[in-house]
Structure formats: C-alpha cells, structure tokens
Amino acid sequence: MRTSICTTPLPLKLFGSTSVASTVVPDAAAPHPTTGALIDRFGRVVRDLRLSITDRCNFRCTYCLTPDARFLATSDRLSTAELIRVGRVFARLGIERLRVTGGEPSVHPDLIEILSALSPLFHDVSMTTNGSLLDDDSARAWKAAGLRRVTISIDSLDPARFQAVTRSNVTSERVLAGLRAAINAGLGPVKVNSVLLAGVNDADAPALAALARELALEVRFIEFMPLDADGIWSHDTVVSSERTILGISKVFPLVLEGRDRPDRTAVRYRFVDGAEGSVSTIAPVSTPFCAECSRVRVTADGFIRPCLLTNAEWPLRELLRDGSSDDAIECAIRHAVWNKDAGGALRLSAARSGARGRTMSAIGG
C-alpha cells in the first residue's frame, strides 16, 4: 500500500459566476480519504473518466462554439505525455471506463499514441467524435490502437440543417459514411448523440430514430445544456426528453426499457414492432441524474472538473509540470473528487440569471 503524502489542498477555481458557485461548491471541511475507492463526500464512487485531449474542433456547433472561436495556446494544453500520465494515475485509482473527448479528439495528431498507451489500463475505452475524419482507414487504426467503441454526434440527417447546426463544410453524408466505417471496423456498439434545439432541428427526431432502426444503433437524444458559447440557451430552446419521445412514438411506437445500470445517464426505449436498434434520452435539464453520477472530467488545459454542470475546477497542470510525484497527483485527484458538488442545479440556475461558465468544447464532452 502506498503511503499518502496529501498535504495542502488544491485551490478551487470557479468559472463564471463566482458569487453563485462559491456558496454552493466550497471545499469540504472533512479530509478526503487517502486510500480505497475514488469517492466523493456524498458516497458516490467515481468509475468513469472523461479525458479531453484537445479543445480544438473543426465544427462550430451552435450549442457549443461561436463561429470565430479561439482555442488554447499549445503551451496551455496538456501535452501527449501529460495526458498519458493523467490517465495512468486515474487507472491506479480504480477508474474502469475511459472516454476520450474534445473538442474533436480526432484532430489531435497523437491520438493513436494516446489510445495505444491508455487502452490497456481500462476495462472500456470509448471516444466521442463528430465523425468528420472517420473513414475505413482511421476506424481500423483506432481499433488497432485499443479503442473499443465510438459515439458519433449527428444532430440532423437533413443536409441543410446539419450544416446550419455544425456551421461547417462537412456534409451529413460524409459523417454517415464514417459511421458505417466504424460499424465495419467493429467499433461497436456504435452510438449516435443528437442535441435537438427548439425551432432548429427538433423535427429530426423521427428520422434519426429511423436511422437507429436501419443500422441497429442506439441513438441518444441529449437535452440542450447551458454550455454554449453563443449564449442562446434558455428553457425555450430546450427540447425535453418527454417531447422527443412523444414525437418519435407518433411514427415508431416505443416501449420503455430503462437504464442499463443505476449510474447510466441514458434511458432506453425499444421499438414496439421488434425492430433492431433503440432510442435513448439523456435529460440533465428536465430529469437530473446527479445522485447516481460516477463521472469526473479532466479538461484539455489540465483542470479536474468533477461535475459538468457546476463551475468548480481544480488545477492539475501545475503538478504535472513542477516535478510532483504520481502520489501527489493522486492526492490532488482525490481532493477534487471528494469536493464534487451534490448536483448541477447551480449551472441551470446561473444560466437563467445570465451567468456563464466554460463551454462544452473547453470542458470536454
């Protein structure tokens, strides 16, 4: 057993409304555990790491980035070696599942090196991608590097609406070709993520459900969260999960199946007629699932973010660059996770009042 060297707690950094966040996410008075499972002060065991390897993206999705988005300087992003080291320390803390995120992770020049180094350390390694750089060659290379499965973001199958949402020159047909390449390479079960915006692409849910039926996929509809750079989020722009399911059911009747595990975010529905595939909803706005949350995030610039929807982060990059030991980094992770907030109601409340924190691209999806 390693001897703990935990001493001075990491400073808490708050993005957005400090006055709101500091009253909700203080450092816990009780000391965090120094051995055993990675656990927060509410007894939730953290088993899932979302590791953002870059904030850069070749899309400018309306629910994430501005058209003229500016990204981190190279010196401010974690290096490939630092990303791998972070993953290794989390693995020794008992993290079971790694999801590689961005930004768009496929634009990272060392993606294969990162996957190859980290994939042996976790029970499951997955990646969220917009699919723009996914083809037969890249799919096979990712698979060979140890990637088990991919989740591809597709917000519309209509070419015009797809480009209106992504604000890119990439076509929906190109992403669908990448999706099929992932299936053929065995990067499954392949899932599709879709964010519906009221009055923009909310009519696309049945077509995406048809895609699930055609390719035996799980298509997951995620409620729009206040993580956009344009500041367009409001309750009026959110398409609730209930509304999405009602719309799909008019075309393809559904039956509720539920969650795979209590700590899963997605609630799954099967097709009544027995067709393969499924649709799921992830409802952080209308039906938060904070009580069972098992996730922690590390941002591309080296901050530990225990809760997606609160603005509290703890710095890790300095420890990676000042000669600190892996034990010291482990201590920092334990401290940040221990101080994870009870839930994300803060971010929703702050968003209503106009307060803004970091965007999804900066945090890591």
**Tens of pLDDT along 238-254?**
999 999 999 999 999 99
Range of the domain at 265: 13-363
In a domain, 246, yes or no: yes
User: Considering the domain boundaries, does residue 224 fall inside one?
Assistant: yes
Does a structural domain hold residue 3? no
Angle at 8 between CA 5 and CA 10, to 5 degrees: 110
Question: Residue 115 burial by CB count (10 A; 0-12/13-18/19+): exposed, middle or buried?
Answer: buried
- pLDDT tens column, 270-319: 999 999 999 999 988 888 888 889 999 999 999 999 988 888 899 999 99
- What pLDDT sits at residue 309? 82
Residue 230's pLDDT is 74
For residue 144, tell me if it sits in a domain.
yes
Residue 88, class by beta-carbon neighbours within 10 Å (0-12 exposed, 13-18 middle, 19+ buried)?
Answer: middle
Q: What 3-state DSSP class applies to 310? A: coil
Q: How many structural domains is the chain composed of?
A: 1
How would residue 143 be classed by pLDDT, with cut points 50, 70 and 90? very high
Short-list 193, 190, 194, 251, CA closest to 215 = 190
- Torsion (CA) 136, 124, 85, 117 in degrees, nearest 10: -40
pLDDT of residue 335: 96
**Cis omega before residue 262 (within 30°)?**
no
Instruction: Report if residue 4 sits inside a domain.
Output: no
Which has more pLDDT, 236 or 115?
115
CATH number (domain holding residue 266)? 3.20.20.70
89 assigned to some structural domain: yes
Q: Within a domain: residue 281? A: yes
- Which comes out higher in pLDDT, residue 349 or 205? 205
Average pLDDT of the chain to the nearest whole number: 89
Closest CA to 25 of 249, 343, 299, 335: 343
pLDDT band at 22 (very low <50, low <70, confident <90, very high): very low
Position 346 pLDDT exceeds 60: no
Q: Is the pLDDT at 236 greater than 80, yes or no?
A: yes
Whether 2 maps to a domain, the answer reads no
Q: What is the pLDDT of residue 204?
A: 96
- Report residue 249 as tokens: 């059911």
Share of the chain above pLDDT 70, in %: 87
Q: What value does the mean pLDDT take over residues 41-67? A: 94
User: What pTM was computed for the model?
Assistant: 0.90
